[in-house]
């Protein structure tokens, strides 16, 4: 099913790359067929041809929505179904801890982030395409999670008036040099990653800088904000010899937002509440960084 959900994600993200504003359909939203039989159509309406027929209790993944129609996918089916004859099920309903996480209140921005207005921020979703990145104990692909985080973050930053550039908007392989291609335009460059190691006990989040003077203030602001909000172990701010930092001429940071190699942490970092919380924390950290910069400039 992994390849299906990856495909679903890629199609969703391709469709949404111009405007990712579909709050009612989370990526990979699973649904179940409630009617005895349900037609799959080639387009979002009754006038489109029937391409398949589903039976009751079939599980599918929604990757787009138009009006009353869902674009769904399973291992051998892609097409549109009438929403009324389906019901949504909790994301990753096989994981009980995940359901608990979803009942938690959604973390929202606590304050006005006015210092983000007009800033150009590049968000780099780590890995992609043939480069899956880390693979979690339950099968999470790092490349999928980094993109999910990047898209949520993009949405939040844009709402505050920032100009956001994503290095990738769907499941695509990029050379490292392609990731830094537009970095000269950036007021801040953030590379998003999730961690993995052979020691399944290791947990926590860490942030990396390369150029002390250029990157540390940004790294520090984001790290502090993440530590203040996320219930993850603080593994510190570190020097990291990463291409996307080293070859960057603008303030940049690389963040490792938890370990996919620890089963509990993998479940937690996959949860909607965690994704909401960390993206808000990154936005707040960025805002704080720009605010401090402005203060320093006025004191000169």
Contacts of Zn ion in 87-106 (CB under 5 A): none
133 interacts with Zn ion by CB under 5 A = yes
Least spacing, CB of residue 244 vs Zn ion, in Å: 10
Please confirm, yes or no, whether 104 is among the known catalytic residues.
Answer: no
Least spacing, CB of residue 142 vs Zn ion, in Å: 5
Residue (65 or 127) nearer to Zn ion, CB: 127
Residue (194 or 289) nearer to Zn ion, CB: 194
Number of Cβ within 10 Å of residue 138's Cβ equals 14
Report in angstroms the alpha-carbon separations of 197 from 112, 133, 262, 266. Answer: 38, 12, 9, 12
Contacts with Zn ion, 164-193, as mask; x by CB under 5 A: -----------------------------x
Residue of 256, 265, 266, 284 marked active site: 256
Whose CB is nearest to Zn ion? 193
CB 58 within 8 A of CB 85: no
39 interacts with Zn ion by CB under 5 A = no
Least spacing, CB of residue 93 vs Zn ion, in Å: 27
Only segment of 47-55, 130-138, 155-163, 265-273 that touches Zn ion (CB under 5 A)? 130-138
Residue (143 or 156) nearer to Zn ion, CB: 143
CB 72 within 8 A of CB 78: yes
Residues with Cβ within 8 Å of 299's Cβ and at least 6 positions away in sequence, in order, are none
Number of Cβ within 10 Å of residue 288's Cβ equals 19
Least spacing, CB of residue 130 vs Zn ion, in Å: 14
Tokens for 55, please give them: 């039976």
Residue (40 or 150) nearer to Zn ion, CB: 150
Least spacing, CB of residue 150 vs Zn ion, in Å: 12
Give φ, ψ of 14 to 5 degrees: -65, -45
Contacts of Zn ion in 109-128 (CB under 5 A): 126
First and final CA of the chain: distance in angstroms? 57
Residue (143 or 223) nearer to Zn ion, CB: 143
240 interacts with Zn ion by CB under 5 A = no
Contacts of Zn ion in 192-211 (CB under 5 A): 193
Tokens for 261, please give them: 């190699």
Q: How many residues bind Zn ion (CB under 5 A)?
A: 3
Tokens for 221, please give them: 């602001």
Number of Cβ within 10 Å of residue 40's Cβ equals 22
Tokens for 43, please give them: 């387009």
Report in angstroms the alpha-carbon separations of 50 from 54, 74, 85, 115, 221. Answer: 11, 16, 16, 51, 53
**CA–CA distance, 45 with 68 (Å, rounded to integer):** 9
Residue positions annotated with a catalytic role: 256
Contacts with Zn ion by CB under 5 A lie at 126, 133, 193
């Amino acid at each position: 099913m992994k390849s299906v959900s990856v495909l679903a994600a890629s199609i969703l993200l391709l469709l949404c790359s111009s405007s990712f504003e579909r709050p009612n359909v989370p990526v990979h939203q699973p649904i179940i067929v409630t009617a005895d039989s349900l037609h799959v159509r080639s387009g979002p309406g009754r006038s489109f041809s029937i391409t398949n027929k589903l039976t009751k209790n079939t599980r599918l993944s929604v990757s787009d929505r138009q009006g009353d129609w869902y674009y769904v996918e399973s291992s051998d089916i892609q097409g549109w179904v009438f929403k009324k004859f389906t019901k949504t099920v909790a994301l990753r309903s096989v994981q009980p801890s995940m359901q608990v996480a979803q009942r938690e209140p959604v973390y929202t921005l606590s304050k006005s982030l006015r210092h983000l207005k007009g800033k150009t921020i590049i968000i780099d979703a780590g890995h992609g395409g043939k480069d899956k990145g880390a693979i979690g104990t339950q099968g999470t692909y790092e490349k999928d999670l980094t993109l999910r985080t990047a898209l949520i973050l993009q949405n939040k930053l844009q709402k505050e008036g920032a100009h956001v550039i994503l290095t990738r908007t769907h499941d695509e392989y990029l050379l490292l040099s392609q990731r830094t291609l537009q970095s000269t335009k950036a007021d801040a460059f953030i590379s998003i990653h999730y961690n993995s190691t052979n020691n399944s006990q290791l947990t926590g989040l860490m942030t990396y800088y390369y150029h002390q003077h250029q990157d540390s203030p940004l790294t520090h602001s984001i790290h502090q904000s993440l530590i203040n909000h996320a219930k993850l172990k603080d593994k510190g701010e570190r020097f990291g010899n990463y291409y996307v930092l080293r070859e960057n001429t603008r303030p940049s940071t690389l963040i490792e937002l938890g370990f996919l190699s620890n089963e509990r942490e993998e479940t937690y970092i996959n949860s909607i509440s965690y994704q909401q919380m960390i993206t808000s924390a990154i936005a707040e950290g960025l805002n704080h960084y720009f605010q401090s910069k402005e203060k320093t400039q006025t004191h000169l």
